Structure formats: structure tokens, C-alpha cells
Amino acid sequence: MVISALTVRDFRNIPSLSLEPSPGVNVIYGDNAQGKTNLVEALYLLTGQKSFRQTRETDLVRFGQKTANVSARFQGGGREQVVSLTLEGGKRAASLNELPVAVGELTGKFFAVVFSPAGLSLVRDGPSQRRAFLDGAISQVMPRYQRTMADLNRVLFQRNSLLNDINRRLAPDDGLLEVWDRSFSKLSYSVINARCRYLSRLAPFGEEIYRGISGGKEAFSMAYHPSIPGEWGKIKEEEGEELIFSALGRARGDDLKNGCTTLGPHRDDLDLWVDGVAVRSYGSQGQQRSCALTLKLAECGVIREVAGEQPVILLDDVLSELDKARRDYLLSGLAEGQLFITCCERNGFGAMREGMMWRIEKGALVSKRRMAPKRPRPAGP
Ligand code: ATP
Ligand code: MG
């Protein structure tokens, strides 16, 4: 997957910007608050997914403007395609090859993986970050998963509202909860099953990548941690749904007391270990970062395997956070495919592949230059 042209208009602090990126490495550098992350964020939205920043949709449009647009020409699916995304009033509209499409349809057509400083804390932070990682990664290779997640969240919301109403005696406990339990069990099974199947693809990549990062000294492993115990990934649909349904029945007292659903995929986690020790609780900072990098690189591996496409890689401000060994590993692991790197200083890319380097100031690209890898010096006499 290679972007050959990108235009961004009225997106955050970017009034109007066009660039023709290199198929290799693209470095966007500049001072703080000039629009580096904004540019990468705009690009990422073309995957049809939510922003990787915690943000409201309406914040994406430039102050004082009504509409923002991001468009790109890219090589993907074996041909040249054009994708466009317009943001207005908190809503998004998309087109692919000049035809209007639902935004969700971009997922699975345009692939990108983002590494950001927030992503580096994926391992250390709470389970919601890891669930978001899993759900975003699965959506890229299984676009209909987004629909299932949206349906599950809707049912969860309805079930929680009813629990609250029953609790406050605003609604009778007359069997309606059981109707929601049925829908919740069905959707939960689909989500848990998809997550476990995805993990079985991700894990071998993860193990190999971490072995590389640690120079073969440490072993990495991961497993789904369900809030409802079961042989998930192996259990058949009917049996799985029944298991969830009966667990909800047993937890009903707690759920009513708390006014929320205490079991289900929204409470699950992804366990990560190095040499059998839980990284979140016991891992060093370096091990936690290595695990986060591993997960992201493994995500790229699954996209390549399932979709046959090398995703566009967005490295937002992460290189400066990594020590040299990890930085070299990351860059050599991403030696193929198109890379966008943001950083404050332009130095330190001399030995990289062919590419382009842009300076960004107040949301505009103010200079560009070509980068060529350093040639090895001829041997002396
Ligand atoms: P850093 O090096 O600190 O990460 P950066 O170059 O990545 O900086 P960005 O996060 O891309 O910076 O841009 C931040 C700037 O964008 C801020 O000055 C912020 O006020 C501005 N900004 C954010 N949203 C909007 C918006 N909707 N309209 C106009 N400006 C915005
Ligand atoms: Mg930034």
C-alpha cells in the first residue's frame, strides 16, 4: 500500500496542504504544535477508523470552518485508487474511486498502522487500551467486526439503562432483561470468538518479533483474559452463547446492585507475559515498551498475511522515545513499505532508505528535500 498524493484541507490547524510522498520514508519535522500529529491523524482517518487520539469528531475541523477534507491517491488491491473523507458537523462522508461509500467501507481497503507515544503505554495502562488495540486491529482485517462491536455497545447501553431503571424502581423486572441478555450473549460470543481467533494469528508474529527485539534472550507470550471463564476460541457458537447467558443470570444480583453489566467482552483483557511474568505488573519500562512495539509490528504482520497488503506505517514521535537498539530494530522491521515519521529534529535519518523530508510550520509544509541513504565509504588505500 503506497500513497502517491495526499491533500488535507481545514483539518485541525492545517488550512490547505498537498504532498506527493515518497514510496519509502517520509519525515515530517518541525517544532511543537506545528501540525505533525495532525497530519498523521488526518492520514490515519482514511482507514475508516476513529482517530488514535482521544478526541471529539467536531474538534477535527479547523476552528471557524464547517468542513474538513482528507483525500489520497494510493496503490492498493493491485490498482490505483482514490479515497476521500469529508468531516462536517461531527459526521463523516467518504468516497472511494469517486463513488460515495459508507465510512466503514474504507476499512479493509486502506490500511495504516500508527505507533504513537500513547501507544507505547498500551501495556502499562488499563485494559481498555488493550481492548481498543485488539478491536482496531481486528477491524482492519475483518471490517464487519466494527458493526458487531457497535451493536454490542448499543445492547450494552440498553441493558445498563434497564438495570438502572429496575434498580430505581422506574421499570418492572418482568423479563425484558432476559431479552437483552439473549442479544448480549449472542453479540458477546461473536466478539470474544473474533478476538481469540485474531490472537491466534497475532501470537506467532509477536513471539518471533519479541525474540528479535530482546536478542533472543527473552520469550514473549500473550493470551485472552476473559471475564467469563471458558475455552474461548474453541467453544462452538450455541454453547458459547449459553455460557454467557448463564453467567449473566448468576451475576444479575451484582449487576442490579451496580446498575451496570459486570461481565462480558467490555470487561476482558489481553494478558502479556515475558518469560512467564506479567509485563503490566512486573515488566521494566523497557520491557513494556518492547511489548507495545511488538504488538504493533505483529499487527502489521497479520495485515500482510490476511490482506496481502503492507500497511502504511505512521510513526508519530516515537523514535525519540526509544533507545538506539529498539529504534534500529523497529526501522529494520519496517524496512519495506511506506513510512511516515514525525519528529522535532530532522537529524538522525542519514542511514535510512530513500525518501523525502518536509518541514512543517503552522500547519503548512514550508520546505522539502530528498533523502538518500548514505553510501558505504570506499575502502582506503
Ligand atoms: P508536538 O511536537 O508537540 O507533538 P505537533 O506538531 O504534533 O506538536 P499537533 O498536535 O499536530 O502538533 O498540532 C497541535 C496544534 O493544532 C495546536 O496548536 C492546536 O491548538 C492546533 N489545533 C488542534 N485542533 C485544532 C482545530 N480544530 N483547529 C485549529 N487548530 C487546532
Ligand atoms: Mg505531535
Model confidence pLDDT, tens digit, residues 224-279: 999 999 999 999 999 999 999 999 999 999 999 999 999 999 999 999 999 999 99
Q: Give residue 107 CA to ligand 1 midpoint distance, Å.
A: 26
Residue with the smallest CA separation from ligand 1 atom 2 is 32
Q: Determine if ligand 1 sits within 6 Å of the CB of residue 321.
A: no
Q: Give residue 306 CA to ligand 2 midpoint distance, Å.
A: 31
Q: Determine if ligand 1 sits within 6 Å of the CB of residue 317.
A: yes
Q: Which amino acid is at 229?
A: P
Range 314-336 average pLDDT: 83
Model confidence at 379: pLDDT above 80: no
**Ligand minimally distant from the alpha carbon of residue 345:** 1
C-alpha cell at 325: 537498539
> Which ligand 1 atom sits nearest the alpha carbon of residue 65?
28
Mean pLDDT, the chain, as a whole number? 92
Asked if residues 198 and 290 have their Cβ atoms less than 8 Å apart, the reply is no
> Which ligand 1 atom sits nearest the alpha carbon of residue 342?
7
Q: Give residue 231 CA to ligand 1 midpoint distance, Å.
A: 46
C-alpha cell at 130: 488493550
pLDDT for 373 equals 76
Asked if residues 106 and 83 have their Cβ atoms less than 8 Å apart, the reply is yes
Q: Give residue 39 CA to ligand 2 midpoint distance, Å.
A: 9
Residue 73: which of 7, 22, 143, 16 has the closest Cα? 7
Asked if residues 51 and 316 have their Cβ atoms less than 8 Å apart, the reply is no
Range 28-39 average pLDDT: 97
**Ligand minimally distant from the alpha carbon of residue 12:** 1
Q: Give residue 93 CA to ligand 2 midpoint distance, Å.
A: 26
> Which ligand 1 atom sits nearest the alpha carbon of residue 41?
11
Strands 2-11 and 14-19: antiparallel
Q: How far apart are CA 249 and CA 76, in angstroms?
A: 47
- pLDDT-derived band at 193 (thresholds 50, 70, 90) equals very high
- Burial code of 175-187, b = ≥16 C-beta within 10 A, e = fewer? eebeebbebbbbb
Q: Give residue 301 CA to ligand 1 midpoint distance, Å.
A: 31
Asked if residues 290 and 201 have their Cβ atoms less than 8 Å apart, the reply is no
Q: Which of 11, 31, 36, 38 to mutate to test the pocket of ligand 1 (most atoms within 8 A of CB)?
A: 38
Q: How far apart are CA 68 and CA 49, in angstroms?
A: 16
Residue with the smallest CA separation from ligand 1 atom 5 is 33
Q: How far apart are CA 155 and CA 244, in angstroms?
A: 14
Angle, helix 145-167 to helix 176-213, in steps of 10 degrees: 130
pLDDT for 349 equals 66
pLDDT for 381 equals 57
Residue with the smallest CA separation from ligand 1 atom 16 is 13
Asked if residues 225 and 268 have their Cβ atoms less than 8 Å apart, the reply is yes
Asked if residues 192 and 243 have their Cβ atoms less than 8 Å apart, the reply is no
Q: How far apart are CA 95 and CA 99, in angstroms?
A: 5
Residue with the smallest CA separation from ligand 1 atom 14 is 33
Cα atoms found within 13 Å of the Cα of residue 198, Cβ hemisphere only: 26
Maximum separation of any 2 CA atoms in the chain, in Å = 92
Residue 26: which of 112, 86, 108 has the closest Cα? 112
Range 106-120 average pLDDT: 90
Q: Determine if ligand 1 sits within 6 Å of the CB of residue 33.
A: yes
Model confidence at 350: pLDDT above 60: no
Q: Determine if ligand 1 sits within 6 Å of the CB of residue 62.
A: yes
**Ligand minimally distant from the alpha carbon of residue 41:** 1
pLDDT digits (tens, 9 = 90+) for 74-85: 999 999 999 999
C-alpha cell at 75: 496503490
SS3 per residue for the chain: CEEEEEEEEEECCEEEEEECCCCCEEEEECCCCCCHHHHHHHHHHCCCCCCCCCCCHHHHECCCCCEEEEEEEEEECCEEEEEEEEEECCEEEEEECCEEECHHHHCCCCCEEEECHHHHCCCCCCHHHHHHHHHHHHHHHCCCHHHHHHHHHHHHHHHHHHHHHHHCCCCCCCCHHHHHHHHHHHHHHHHHHHHHHHHHHHHHHHHHHHHHHCCCCCCEEEEEECCCCCCCCCCCHHHHHHHHHHHHHHHHHHHHHHCCCCCCHHHCEEEEEECCEEHHHHCCHHHHHHHHHHHHHHHHHHHHHHHCCCCEEEEECCHHHCCHHHHHHHHHHCCCCCEEEEECCCCCCCCCCCEEEEEEECCEEEEEEEECCCCCCCCCC
Asked if residues 128 and 150 have their Cβ atoms less than 8 Å apart, the reply is no
Q: Which of 11, 28, 37, 120 to mutate to test the pocket of ligand 1 (most atoms within 8 A of CB)?
A: 37
Rounded percentage of the chain residues whose pLDDT exceeds 70? 97
